[in-house]
Amino acid sequence: MRRTNNISVGVLMLFGKTWTLVGRARSCVVTPLARLFVSSNMAKSKFEYVRNFETDDTCLKNCYIVVRLDGRNFHRFTEQHKFTKPNDNRALGLMSRSAHSVMEELEDIVIAYGQSDEFSFVFKRTSTWFKRRASKLMTHVASQFSSSYVFYWKEFFGDQPLLYPPSFDGRVVLYPTNRNLKDYLSWRQADCHVNNLYNTVFWTLVQKGGLTTAQAEDRLKGTLAADKNEILFSEFEINYNNESALHRKGTTLIWEKRDETVTKRMKRPNEEEKEVSVTRSRKRVQAYHCDIIGEQFWEEHTDILEDDGC
């Protein structure tokens, strides 16, 4: 590099070619090309040893991964937001819509089941999402569900304000066989039936029978399912089996392929542009309010479960 009358003229060898630099400058520093690239080893620091404190929470292979969310302090939440008793269809619809959002975000979820303030999400046995790390799966499901609950609140509750954000806790459980998974989902649906029957009788005694909540609780102590059904039928002419399937069975979400027809404008060579109907198959999340304890549901949807011999 030489300098003449404040004009800097230099020759730079770069990529095997000679470049001439001309311009007014006080100084010119050319950095060797090799120094522009920093080794990944140089990016490490003496503090990186703290990563060794992280525990390995990789889920066992060949197992279904179930992430179950439960509303935290939802009794207080429902009271302050004046949910309809015993069931608020707006709230149940919002829960289902939030779960729908989770499934669209994480397509490895093959089935989800929800009732009241809980939802279970089942990842397929061969899923590799987030390298099968339990903490990653649980936190992603929980955050997606919670944010969706807030985002879609107005769609279901209209002008009723959301007084404060809801929260959901989560857990991860592994089930190695199809039988184990089906029994888990059967357990959750049986829980739905037990809770809903109790709540239906309890609030009927309060709202139609004129009892206080304490009196209704005393009335139902020690009663069996048959006793509760008898109270509904003999005193209020309510046949529990005729109650909404949504309330009795909960909500099951699965992926289903559906054909849809759309109209497109197309132009072929030597022809005028015209509208053409095109049919295509797409996977969409479908909701069911049906029995999943028996075998009929599973026989009709054989693509949900994977072969136990995988």
Contacts of 40 (CB under 8 A, 6+ apart): none
CA distance linking residue 32 with residue 118, whole number of Å: 61
**For residues 61 and 133, what is the distance between their CA atoms, to the nearest angstrom?**
11
Residue identified by tokens 């620091």 is 45
Task: Report which of residues 246 and 268 the model is more confident about.
Answer: 246
Task: Identify the pLDDT of residue 111.
Answer: 98
pLDDT of residue 255: 96
Which token pair is 28? 């010119």
| String of DSSP letters for 239-279 | -GGGS-HHHHH-EEEEEEEEEEEEEEEE--TTS--EEEEEE
Task: Give the pLDDT confidence of 31-66 residue by residue, as tens digits.
Answer: 554 454 444 555 678 899 998 998 899 999 999 999
**Residue keyed to tokens 């095109």:** 278
Rounded CA gap, 302 and 310, in Å?
Answer: 16
Tens-place pLDDT, residues 71-125? 999 999 999 999 999 999 999 999 999 999 999 999 999 999 999 999 999 999 9
Residue 54 has a pLDDT of 87
Q: What is the largest CA-CA distance in the chain?
A: 110
Cβ 127 vs Cβ 172: under 8 Å:
no
Per-residue pLDDT, 42: 55
Instruction: Name which of 159-163, 212-216, 260-264 the model is least confident about.
Output: 260-264
Rounded CA-CA distance 266/176 in Å is 50
DSSP 40: G
Q: What is the pLDDT of residues 257-303, one digit of tens each?
A: 877 766 777 777 777 777 777 777 789 999 999 999 999 999 999 99
Non-local (6+) Cβ contacts of 65 within 8 A are: 59, 122, 123, 127, 132, 134, 137, 172, 174
Give per-residue pLDDT as tens, 296-309.
999 999 999 998 86
Instruction: Indicate if the pLDDT at residue 14 is higher than 50.
Output: no
Between these two residues, 42 and 14, which has the higher pLDDT value?
A: 42
Question: What is the C-alpha to C-alpha distance for residues 66 and 109, in angstroms, rounded to an integer?
Answer: 9
**Hey, how many other C-beta atoms are within 10 angstroms of the C-beta on 39?**
7
Contact 233, 119 (CB under 8 A): no
Instruction: Indicate the pTM of the whole model.
Output: 0.80
pLDDT tens, residue by residue, 162-183: 999 999 999 999 999 999 999 9
Would you place residue 8 in the very low, low, confident or very high pLDDT band (cuts 50, 70, 90)? very low
In terms of pLDDT, which residue wins out, 231 or 10?
Answer: 231
Distance CA 222, CA 224 (A): 7
Picking from 27-41, 141-155, 238-252, 253-267, which range would have the lowest pLDDT averaged per residue?
Answer: 27-41
User: Could you tell me what percent of the chain has a pLDDT over 90?
Assistant: 73
| pLDDT higher than 50, residue 4 | no
